[in-house]
Amino acid sequence: MTNIPETAAPNGPARPPLTWVLIGQGYAPVSIPPKGWGAVESVIWDYKTHLEQLGHKVVVINTAERREIIAAVNRCRPDVVHLHQYPLSGVLKKIRAPVKIFTSHSGYEISRLASLRFLVEHLLSYLKGGQFVFVLSPVWRQKFLDCGYDPAEVFVTLNGADHRRFRFRETPLHENRSLYLGSIYDNKRQHLYQAIDRMDFAGPHGDEKFDQTRANYLGEWTREHLYAHLSDYASLVILSKVEVAAPLVVLEALVCGLGVVVSEAASVNLDARLPWITVIPERKITDIDFVAGEIARNREISLRHRAQIRAYGIENFSWEKLVPRYADLCLRLHAAKNSPRPVAQTLRRLRYLLAALPADLVAVARYLMFKRFPRRIRRLFP
């Protein structure tokens, strides 16, 4: 395969349009596009919208029924299939397409062992070629490379935001308030910070430790409300435990001119050297006084740099810039599939796999010893 850079650039010559199939998570209550919360569904819809603006045909499939997915994809005879859900990854074996892509959006799967399990499950498809891994950050890319993936077949494609959908206020309505936006789960840790002054919370409630009777809980926002009112605030707070990249709402906040206060996990792909990006060290995450002080400091800085924050967000995370790069990468992968070098490509993949094999065996042994075997033993003693 030709040497394709880790993150593609949109400067290649014009190529004919392709047919894409984008496969969602199949969560019945969440549609594509989502009416309220649904980060992955929102990402898929933005990809569809911007790919179609580039002249490509895009079909979205959003069901958990594997047979329906396989039948629907094969009827479309697509050039590119992009799956966005790990539990459904088995369908890739039965799908016919020149280019098959897998992406997981779950922070709980960002481990070398999870990457290794995916490789084992799809080893034959990988060796034959045409199945690629697109990850949301360089951190996760390295996990796949450690397992023996060919570096020319694992790519970083960042999440983004559609900045044109969001109303931008040069001066926020709530200059002295910050917003903690996101699904209210234990993973997001909203319950730790409810007493912090001058902060509101919005998102679907799913954590009994969070008191939804407080006046600073605004309930769940619709997408339309988010587009209209995110820029009302001075800054955004997201202090979650596990992420694979900066959460989508962080990118949306940046294109709206808000500074951000994030955990280490939620800071992936952000430039923490910028004054309006504050990263709370994990060792200080439960120090409420420290966190409150950092939120207040970030809010004051952010108010002075609102236009610069928006410019940074658009330049680095606007779908208008990211989707053309993604499309160009997929076009080049599709063209490379027709190159007459399948044996050489398979040997290249084998070389990387064999180089990683000793460490892979150790990882599997550790998994069996500390995860699988203890679980089976516990089942013997109900």
Residue 372 has pLDDT above 80, yes or no: no
Token pair belonging to 363: 């990882």
CATH number listed for the domain at residues 163-317: 3.40.50.2000
Predicted local confidence at residue 6, as pLDDT:
47
Residue with tokens 């199949």: 26
pLDDT in tens, 26-48: 776 667 887 777 788 899 999 99
Indicate the SS3 state at residue 294.
helix
Token pair belonging to 101: 């892509």
DSSP conformational letter for 193:
G
- Distance, first Cα to last Cα, the chain: 53
Q: 115 or 310: whose pLDDT is higher? A: 310
Residue with tokens 């629907």: 72
Give the list of residues 6+ apart from residue 131 with CB closer than 8 angstroms, or none. 92, 100, 101, 102, 122, 125
Least confident span in 68-77, 110-119, 130-139, 189-198: 110-119
Residue 379 has pLDDT above 80, yes or no: no
Predicted local confidence at residue 9, as pLDDT:
43
Q: 372 or 140: whose pLDDT is higher? A: 140
Predicted local confidence at residue 20, as pLDDT:
96
Token pair belonging to 287: 């120090």
Hey, which residues does 379 pair with through a beta bridge? none
Residue 14 has pLDDT above 70, yes or no: no
Q: Which backbone phi and psi does 65 adopt, to 5 degrees?
A: -80, 110
Q: Where are the domains of the chain?
A: 19-160+341-372, 163-317
Residue type, 349: R
* Local confidence band at 376 (pLDDT 50, 70, 90 cut-offs): low
Predicted local confidence at residue 327, as pLDDT:
96
By CB neighbour count within 10 A (0-12 exposed, 13-18 middle, 19+ buried), where does 263 fall?
buried
Query: Is the backbone peptide bond immediately before 358 cis, with ω within 30 degrees of 0?
Result: no
Predicted local confidence at residue 29, as pLDDT:
63
DSSP conformational letter for 368:
I
Average pLDDT of the chain is 88
Residue 7 has pLDDT above 80, yes or no: no
Predicted local confidence at residue 64, as pLDDT:
87
Residue 162 has pLDDT above 80, yes or no: yes
User: How crowded is the C-beta side of 376, counted as CA atoms within 13 Å?
Assistant: 7
Predicted local confidence at residue 11, as pLDDT:
47
pLDDT in tens, 258-281: 999 999 999 999 999 999 999 999
Predicted local confidence at residue 113, as pLDDT:
83
Q: 361 or 286: whose pLDDT is higher? A: 286
CATH C-level class of 19-160+341-372:
alpha beta
Residue 106 has pLDDT above 90, yes or no: no
Q: Buried b vs exposed e over 290-309: b needs ≥16 C-beta within 10 Å?
A: ebbebbbebbebbbebbeeb
Nearest to 262 by CA among 254, 251, 250: 250
Cβ–Cβ under 8 Å, residues 154 and 135: yes
* Local confidence band at 181 (pLDDT 50, 70, 90 cut-offs): very high
Question: One fold for both 19-160+341-372 and 163-317?
Answer: yes
Residue 325 has pLDDT above 90, yes or no: yes
Can you say how many angstroms the Cα of residue 89 is from the centroid of all Cα atoms in its chain?
A: 16
* Local confidence band at 84 (pLDDT 50, 70, 90 cut-offs): very high
Residue 134 has pLDDT above 90, yes or no: yes
